[in-house]
Chain A
Amino acid sequence: MSEDEREPAYLYPDYVGTRLRAPVKPLVQLPDGFHDFPAPLFPRSVTELDHDLTRQHPGEPVGERIIVTGRVLDSDGRPVQGTIVEVWQANAAGRYLDQDDQHPAPLDPNFSGAGRCLTDAQGHYRFITIKPGAYPWKNHRNAWRPAHIHFSLFGNVFRSRLVTQMYFPGDPLMGQDPILQSIPDQAGRGRLVSRFDPETTVPEWALAYRWDIVLRGRAATPFENER
């Protein structure tokens, strides 16, 4: 399958929100290399504690403390170093700190649900947070989003940009979620599911989940137009 066939289509009618927002006219294909210019490196500041979503308030948030870690790689398997990783998520009760979220579950005064970090020289990122709750949405009758953490990454070149969601292993809601199911193949959907990581789990403190991310690299071989 080509890179594009592994991605969700813009129009996926089971996800009602796509119906009036997906472009209908064909996207214009540019020759290889037109989106290979550099991505922004640090579009915003990152401080030392921004990776720890459990330490942004006077008290600790309610919920199951977890470590979420992994590597950011390009499609050639090379680590993407020094790139910003931004995350946001619901609290343990399945409620976002967002005025538009009207789910009648409690807000947590000790949890904002946003974090960021920079990858290290081997492409590693690491967040400390709490496991987000599932929450209902109005896409169809009795629709519930599986627990997930939103991720935003830039990578090295403009075409590396990725916004996606990380899911948790064994979540029974994944099979009926049109957002996850919009990915055409099972292997592709599986690449959004983290795995329980006993080695990184810290005894008496927090379970760990591991999730590696692979970003698009350059489309054109460098220097192919140079003589």
Chain B
Amino acid sequence: MSAPLTPSQTVGPFFGVGLPFEKGEQVGPAGAAGSIRIEGQVLDGHGDPVPDALLEVWQPDEGGQYQTVVNSTATGFGRCRTDAEGAFNFVTVKPGPSRAPDGHAQAPHLNVTVFARGLLRHLVTRMYFPDEPGANAADPVLKLVEPARRSTLMARDDGEVLRFDIHLQGERETVFFVI
């Protein structure tokens, strides 16, 4: 008999005093070779920016392993609040292929969690890399997503940065996963 879970509540609009921390957007080791800057925007059902969202990234290392004891140089974890334009950014390195529960390799991806005023529960999505067409085609999670919506999980190469926008609602609504 399992104990009943504690229900979720919204992060509200005033998490700024409690959750963001200095250099929270630095996910991978600072200054590492192959560092990638990720930029994006969180948008609501009208396409308007969401200026009070908090994003978290949690990713494995380059060997595909989650580093659970996080220290100040290499983390794999990042946290960034959106600004007035709904914009966020992270700096990281591309993770290695982690293993699915059945042992198959997954394509490199970041786990992205979204909190915001108006979200009674957090949302979980994934950001995949556009330069991994082979691994993405074989990825067991992408295969479960209807083809027309897979592009919402794919970062876009924007030259200097990878672009990853999150649409909470609407025509281009991002794919979110049941937690």
Contacts and interface: CB of A to CB of B under 8 A. Distances in A.
Interface stretch (B32-40, B98-106, B129-137, B155-163): B98-106
B8 A162 contact: yes
B140 to A, nearest CB: 8
A187 B77 CA distance: 34
B7 interface: yes
Contacts of A86: 18-19
Interface in B4-50: 4-19, 21, 24, 44-46, 48, 50
B5 A165 contact: no
Given A41-B70, A98-B16, A35 B4 contact: no
Secondary structure of the B side of the interface?
loop
Interface residues of B, number: 68
A100 B51 CA distance: 11
Interface stretch (A20-28, A59-67, A117-125, A201-209): A20-28
B68 A23 contact: no
B151 interface: no
Contacts of A225: 101-103
B79 interface: yes
A32 B115 CA distance: 23
B5 A3 contact: yes
B141 interface: yes
Secondary structure of the A side of the interface?
loop
A128 to B, nearest CB: 16
B179 to A, nearest CB: 5
B77 A40 contact: yes
A41 B173 contact: no
Contacts of A41: 68-70
A57 interface: no
Contacts of A159: 179
Contacts of A31: 101
A192 interface: yes
A179 B9 contact: yes
B120 A182 contact: yes
A212 B3 CA distance: 11
10 contacts: A21-B45, A40-B75, A45-B72, A86-B18, A88-B18, A98-B13, A165-B9, A191-B6, A192-B9, A212-B6
Interface of A: 3-4, 6-10, 12, 15, 17-25, 27-45, 73, 75-77, 86-88, 90, 96-101, 112-114, 150, 152, 158-159, 161-165, 179-180, 182-183, 187-189, 191-192, 212-217, 220, 225
Given A9-B120, A164-B9, A192-B6, 17 more contacts: A10-B119, A21-B117, A27-B176, A29-B144, A29-B178, A34-B141, A40-B58, A77-B2, A98-B14, A98-B16, A100-B14, A163-B8, A163-B9, A165-B10, A165-B12, A179-B120, A215-B6
